[in-house]
Amino acid sequence: MASNDSAGGVPFAISFDRSGKRMLVAEAEKSTVTTYQVRRDGKLKVLQEPLASGQETLCWLERAGNYFYGGNTGNSTVTGYRMDKHRALSLTNSVGIATPPSATSQGVIDLAVTEDEKFVSEGLPAFDESGMEGIAAI
């Protein structure tokens, strides 16, 4: 088994592009996403250095087609990322926010994508006034 150092601080979640050849890692420390190639020997090659969103505490990353959405628990926002035809990752807009914070949000604590990859759902239902965390598979 190969051991790899992370290019960014506090790796928290991973997602793969459509081809399955590129692994994206969400890093909570500075809310960055690093793109890697997974080699046959298990070693990771950095394809794109950590991309900062300007948000706080990126913890979840889900793919929907050629887009990726990251849940930022620190400020209750969702960041949008796009992978272009050259497989370069960029923010979908200059401020790094796909959805603004909501006064009624208990925090972006999870993300899920529908099976057809057309919709992203933010969070899970409230539970005992503190929110709920978990994994959704559709």
What pLDDT is attached to residue 107? 67
Say how far apart CA 21 and CA 29 lie, in whole Å: 25
Mean pLDDT of 34-54: 94
Q: Is the pLDDT of residue 12 over 90?
A: yes
Instruction: Characterize 36-55 residue by residue with b for buried, 16 or more Cβ atoms within 10 angstroms of its Cβ, and e for exposed.
Output: bebeeeeebeebbebbbbeb
Residue 135 pLDDT level (bands cut at 50, 70, 90): very low
Mean pLDDT of 19-27: 93
